Structure 1
Amino acid sequence: MASQITTPPFSELVRVFTRIGCLSFGGPVGQIALMHRELVEERKWIDEEQYLHALNFCHLLPGPEAQQLATWIGWRMHGVKGGLAAGLLFVVPGALIILALSILYAYAANLTWFAALFLGMKAAVLAIVVQALIRIGGRALNTSFKLAMAAVAFVALFFFNLPFPLVVLGAGLTGIVVAQRQPRWLALKTGLAPPVTTPRPWGKTLGTVGIWLTIWAAPMVVVLLTLGQDHVLWQIGSFFSQLAIVTFGGAYAVLAYMAQEAVQGYGWLSAGEMADGLGLAETTPGPLIMVTQFVGYLAAFRSPEPFAPLIAGIIGAGLTTWVTFAPCFLWIFAFAPWVERMENAQWLKGGLATLTAAIVGVIANLTIWFALHVLFAGVAERQFGPARLYWPDLSSFSSQAALLSLLAAFLIFRLKWNVIKTLSVTCLTSLAWGWIAL
């Protein structure tokens, strides 16, 4: 009941979101469930209807929905100050842990035991990505049209290497058109939504956008003026700024695009290292998209001039985190006053539904890409006219990686183990295997 809802003092909000930020394991599903238990069920800071309404709103925005939901809840209770506190506390604990692990990884990656540890991690990540594909596909592909959109997105990315932003934009525009003409293809509810009587806050929205665009761009201006556009820090900031705009559908939706660009486009790290980074992000609190920080650290660490490698890596990680998450605050603070209108927009629901279906194809592309690079040490690309095909070197097949992946799949799908337990077992098994082989 509304009378039971209480607004906590700011100090209490900080304390609770610090706890949530340190315990937010398990990806967006686990994080959203944790906040629901802490804030709706136990403390009654927000009611069920408001929570679900805000969650739907966050699904419409690019970026990690769980972190944006935390920001919205903080904004709802204490304005911009509350939104900043809740959003930052959701990110900072995981960011600090990922930074520490990235530093360790960069210095210890050539050690035998470290390689064995991360082989176990990569095997588990493969099973985790397959699980994400099955879960999201089962939820999103509830019509034949959505299934077709997923297939088109997969073919466009896997075989024709079309730009990820183009695939996302095309899917969204297709959904907008279909929502107006054939809403049943998207399983959209028809009928008139209740009118929204609140005034349109144009002035406040434009002011907020201006302020946060300035905040978002500030470190990039410093990089441009001091190091120029040819420096790796400018490349890092530009790439992840663009990525922040198209991260609809959660981290898995953009991981394939990010991995392929970081590995094949920029050469910042290898495919195996990309899988290692995802494994680190899976085992730490905070949004899964925090894997971008790992990539930013290694990219700057390996091209450090004029800094020392450690300092360059820390700057690269910090810049990556800044340009990845600053837009999240922009979206929430600018568009939260419009939440009711956005919830009722049929065209927007259609665009999001089709985009979500296409993202299943995107994740399928990621799944096969990861599988090839985890199971085979050598993977080449061959062109067949306009089409591109990955071609593994069969002699480089890793039976150890395959058996560890099967073990992870058994633990996840058969025994229903969570991510942390599965990763622990596969990593320890890989370490023991390496020790026995010595």
Structure 2
Amino acid sequence: MHRELVDERGWISEDDYLHALNVCHLLPGPEAQQLATWIGWRLHGWRGGLVAGLLFVIPGSLVILALSILYAMAANLAWFSAIFLGVKAAVLAIVVQALLRIAGRALDTRFKQGLAAAAFVALFVLDLPFPLIVLGAGAAGMPVASTRPDWLALKPGAASAPVGPRPWSSTIQSVAIWGVIWGTPMALVAATLGIDHVLWDIGAFFSQLAVVTFGGAYAVLAYMAQEAVQGFGWLQPGEMADGLGLAETTPGPLIMVTQFVGFLAAYRAPEPFTPIIAGLLGAGLTTWVTFAPCFLWIFAVAPWIDRLGNTVRLKGGLAAVTAAVVGVIANLTAWFLLHVLFSTVGESRVGPLRLYTPDWASFDWRAALLAVLACLLVFGAKWSIMRVLAVAALGGLVLGMAI
């Protein structure tokens, strides 16, 4: 995006691009989609923002919808399950790679390392709510940015905000319009199917995610996986890894894995619709409540970007959230590791502590072998994600069908 729009086309300046990117990192939702929307808004107003934002999402949405339908219809076939044995192993290596990459970039002070460790313990051991972790980290980072910016590797002081009228009317109008757009499908579901229907649960859950999805798709995936599997029972643990593998192969933001979850959730509880129709409604509703808030955030904040980009307290909140996200992704990595390598993983409580207890008799040596192969290809051979997924899927097919 930077090469095309700044270097080659010259549509916006380098400073404006980086300024907007900093602010998009502070907003919930996929920052790349919001940055694309802001660039469209900067060039052609709300029409340009709408076109840019929609075209960033629609291609990937259609591809993963087609893959979700294929997955739901072929999930019980032996060869299909064998392929996804390899996909799950590759996803484990990909998540480990994401963890190490983000940790290497984000944890450059002891304070940030402490935040990451605390976030991991809070999620994996204490089972505290994901939104609490994210919001708590942001709240901790803002005062630290003002008093001890070196703890967050921030330069002290803030750039002076440009003078001029504050665009409150534009912000209020954007919030009102996109709030109605966001809530309209939920109102229709409540009026026609009731709040006990699975579509209401889907819409409410992913609306909540749209508010707390700081830190990228890998961060929110851990919370979504545990809630979709353990909270709602929509998917099996291994199916979340399958969904991430599908999302890794599609264009568009990785957060599109939410559509896979919404499709399967509705597909498996279709009444009063057929499974396919219910799945399409679930996928459409999930995508709607995931990305309509993204337009709300960016259109509401766009007129303020020049004021917000260099605010030290906001940067401190973002830096703290980014550090906590490393702990969140570590939780995701540990959760996937257990559920990919073991068919049965128990869960028990000792006071406030949650303990996972894998059944060693259910250890899957094929998944372990493929995971080691995927790690060698990712970290040793430096292969791309697509190549690793393809080789692991082929390996899963060979092992799954031969044994």
Q: TM-score, normalised by structure 2?
A: 0.98
- Given the alignment, which residue of 45, 60, 65 partners 1:99? 65
**Residue deviations 1:51-86 (CA, integer Å, cap 9, x gap):** 211111110111011111111111111111111111
Q: Percent identity?
A: 70
1:388 equivalenced with 2:343 (yes/no)? no
* Residue identity opposite 1:365 in structure 2: N
Quote the Cα distance in structure 1 between the aligned partners of 2:170 and 2:13.
Answer: 26
Aligned residues: 403
Corresponding residue SS for 2:309: helix
1:263 equivalenced with 2:263 (yes/no)? no
Point out where structure 2 has 5 or more consecutive residues left out of the alignment: none
1:223 equivalenced with 2:189 (yes/no)? yes
RMSD (CA atoms): 1.0
User: Counterpart of 2:317?
Assistant: 351
CA contact (8 A) 2:78 2:401 kept: no
User: How has the CA–CA distance of structure 1 residues 82 and 433 changed in structure 2, closer, same or farther, with 3 Å as cutoff?
Assistant: same
**Residue deviations 1:292-351 (CA, integer Å, cap 9, x gap):** 000000000011111111000000000000000001111111101111221122211111
User: Counterpart of 1:410?
Assistant: 376
Quote the Cα distance in structure 2 between the aligned partners of 1:350 and 1:163.
Answer: 22
Quote the Cα distance in structure 2 between the aligned partners of 1:421 and 1:248.
Answer: 29
- Given the alignment, which residue of 83, 88, 111 partners 1:122? 88
Quote the Cα distance in structure 1 between the aligned partners of 2:373 and 2:164.
Answer: 55
User: Counterpart of 2:17?
Assistant: 51
User: Counterpart of 1:204?
Assistant: 170
**CA positional deviation for 1:432:** 2.0
**CA positional deviation for 1:181:** 1.9
Quote the Cα distance in structure 2 between the aligned partners of 1:213 and 1:112.
Answer: 45
Point out where structure 1 has 5 or more consecutive residues left out of the alignment: 1-34
**CA positional deviation for 1:203:** 1.1
**CA positional deviation for 1:396:** 0.7
**CA positional deviation for 1:179:** 1.6
CA contact (8 A) 2:186 2:200 kept: yes
* Residue identity opposite 2:269 in structure 1: S
Which 4+ residue blocks in structure 1 deviate beyond 4 angstroms?
none
**Residue deviations 1:266-294 (CA, integer Å, cap 9, x gap):** 00011001110011001111111100000
- Given the alignment, which residue of 364, 371, 376 partners 2:330? 364
User: Counterpart of 2:53?
Assistant: 87
Pairing of 1:299-338 with structure 2 (within 5 A): 299-338=265-304
Quote the Cα distance in structure 1 between the aligned partners of 2:109 and 2:306.
Answer: 27
Quote the Cα distance in structure 2 between the aligned partners of 1:203 and 1:43.
Answer: 32
Quote the Cα distance in structure 2 between the aligned partners of 1:316 and 1:195.
Answer: 43
Quote the Cα distance in structure 1 between the aligned partners of 2:21 and 2:91.
Answer: 27
**CA positional deviation for 1:192:** 4.4
* Residue identity opposite 1:304 in structure 2: P
